[in-house]
Amino acid sequence: MASHKVNKTIKEINERIRKGLAVVVNARDMIDIVRDLGKVAAAGEVDVVTTGTFSPMCSSGLLFNFGQEPPVIKGAKVWLNGVPAHAGLAAVDAYMGCTEPVKGDPLNKVYPGRFSYGGGHVIEDLLRGKSVHLRVEAYGTDCYPRKNIEKDVRLADLPTAMLLNPRNAYQNYNCAVNLGKKIVYTYMGPLKPKAKNANYATAGHLSPLLNDPYLRTIGLGTKIFLGGGTGYVLGPGTQHNPKPPRNERGVPECAAGTLMVRGDLKAMNPRFVRGVSILGYGCSLALGLGVPIPVLNEDVAWYAGVSDADIAVPVKDYGHDYPNGVGRVLKKVSFEELVSGEIEVEGVRSATVPLTSYTLSLEVADTLKQWIQNGSFTLTEPQEAIESQ
């Protein structure tokens, strides 16, 4: 690696944070700083860039322990408010996936299904301090004779409750249109026929992994903002793609890197953890996630200066291609065009629709900035890199 003009360590940055001297900016403000000062001066000036995203994030869930009371039990089937959890872990451990619908949900029998309650909603209810009905069935053993539990529990009653998310924070994502003749209801939202709308889901210049496209500062052990509390990166998420095609700025031109993360639900804030119902598709969890990027050198500063114009998003057809596993990219549009409100697809003017909340994404980045400025959040050294080329 070429030697840099600016060289900082996370340890030095943490010293500055503790002394209240660190210069922390959000990823939106970093665009102009890099543009105006140049990357070397920007790296000298800024210590940390805070990023943020708030979006539905499937592949999230709650790992919880519901505790024992005599006679003890080895749960085989577990439900919270009627939503099944995976119980094949241990005696009283279970995992509630955010997309799991409540038992008896009509699903898509009445199309498009409403999916009004599921795992994500259970997680939000617990976090809001609501009481949730726990039902456990067991077959009974010599050491665990109890065969069932029926009781109401609150988050405070659960000995352990942590979000453990196999895949969050997708680095770039598709923009979805429907070239078919009738409306389709997808995980990317409703798509009107003849490409009348184009739905996209990334926070653009605020997005964590677009600000560090080669994941040079992010790895196992990186402390992050998760759901209004703190969490940690555990490594690459499922479906992590380390070798995507990239533009000249290193920004992946398709969905690429992902993170696996965890965080203590009890320390989170329901403003940033929302159960969602996606019409015709299913349940999920909308989650706020922010990564602090230590500006170790001018290259890190340069990447963190990414603007919406630098991000190319692939437009794909979800009417026919996506459901049939066809990877055709209709065209690439810049994130700046998506934000303008309209793009042109196959000769049609298509209204652009975000699924990611920009205002909440910015709030994530600014909250993280505040924590670092007031010294309550310091940075951690990644213990293992995440492959990214």
104 near other proteins, rule: CB under 8 A: no
Query: How many CB atoms sit inside 10 A of residue 32's CB?
Result: 13
Answer yes or no: are the C-beta atoms of 325 and 264 closer than 8 Å: no
Quickly list H helices, the chain. Answer: 10-18, 27-37, 39-45, 119-127, 298-304, 335-339, 358-373
**Of 251, 264, 299, the residue nearest 3 (C-alpha):** 299
Tell the burial category of 134 from Cβ atoms under 10 Å away from its Cβ (0-12, 13-18, 19+). buried
Among 355, 365, 372, 386, binds other proteins (CB under 8 A): 355
Query: CA nearest 263: which of 296, 311, 224, 291?
Result: 224
Q: State in angstroms the smallest separation of the CB of 267 from other proteins.
A: 21
Enumerate the active-site residues.
Answer: 143
* Residue (91 or 183) nearer to other proteins, CB: 183
Please check whether residue 55 is in contact with residue 325, taking contact to mean a CB–CB distance below 8 angstroms: no
Residue 172 or 361 with smaller CB distance to other proteins = 361
Least distance to other proteins from the beta carbon of 142, Å?
A: 47
CA distance 62 to 81: 14
Binds other proteins (CB under 8 A): choice among 354, 373, 381, 385: 354
CB of 126 to other proteins, least distance (A): 16
Could you tell me which stretch among 152-160, 161-169, 249-257, 349-357 binds other proteins (CB under 8 A)? Answer: 349-357
Among 258, 356, 367, 378, which residue interacts with other proteins (rule: CB under 8 A)? 356
By C-alpha distance, which of 65, 61, 74, 89 is closest to 149? Answer: 74
Beta bridge partner(s), residue 235: 260
Residue nearer to other proteins on the CB measure, 97 or 189: 189
CB of 125 to other proteins, least distance (A): 13
Which two structure tokens, joined as six digits, stand for 15? 């010293």
Instruction: Tell me the closest approach of the beta carbon of residue 197 to other proteins, in angstroms.
Output: 5
- Minimum CB separation of residue 127 from other proteins in Å reads 14
Cα–Cα dist 55/224, whole Å: 16
C-alpha 27/C-alpha 8 separation (Å) is 19
Stretch near other proteins under the rule CB under 8 A, chosen from 13-21, 221-229, 337-345, 377-385: 337-345
- Give the C-alpha distances (Å, rounded to integers) separating 29 from 25, 39, 214, 289, 307: 6, 14, 21, 18, 10
Tell me which of 269, 340, 374, 383 binds other proteins, using CB under 8 A.
Answer: 340
Q: Among residues 113 and 294, whose Cβ is nearest to other proteins?
A: 113
Stretch in the footprint of other proteins (CB under 8 A) among 19-27, 101-109, 135-143, 347-355: 347-355
Our finding on whether 357 is near other proteins (CB under 8 A) is yes
Query: What number of other Cβ atoms are within 10 A of residue 289's Cβ?
Result: 30
Number of residues that bind other proteins (CB under 8 A): 34
Q: Which of residues 232-291 bind other proteins (CB under 8 A)?
A: 274-279, 284, 286
Nearer to other proteins, 54 or 302 (CB): 54
In the complex with other proteins, which residue's Cβ is closer, 121 or 216? 121
Distances (CA, A) of 213 to 217, 247, 268: 10, 11, 27
The whole-angstrom separation of Cα 64 and Cα 164 is: 10
Q: How far is the CB of 4 from other proteins (least distance, A)?
A: 35
Q: Which is nearer to other proteins, 20 or 341 (CB)?
A: 341
How many whole angstroms separate alpha carbon 39 and alpha carbon 5? 10
Round to whole Å and give the CA distance between 260 and 272.
18
Tokens encoding 320: 């026919």
Q: Which stretch binds other proteins (CB under 8 A): 126-134, 154-162, 216-224, 339-347?
A: 339-347
Minimum gap (Å) between residue 107 Cβ and other proteins = 16
Chain positions 180 to 209 lying near other proteins, rule: CB under 8 A, are 183, 189-192, 197, 199
Q: Is 220 in the site for other proteins (CB under 8 A)?
A: no
Determine if 110 is a binding residue for other proteins (CB under 8 A). no
What is the binding site for other proteins (CB under 8 A)?
A: 54-56, 112, 114, 116, 183, 189-192, 197, 199, 274-279, 284, 286, 339-341, 351, 353-360, 362
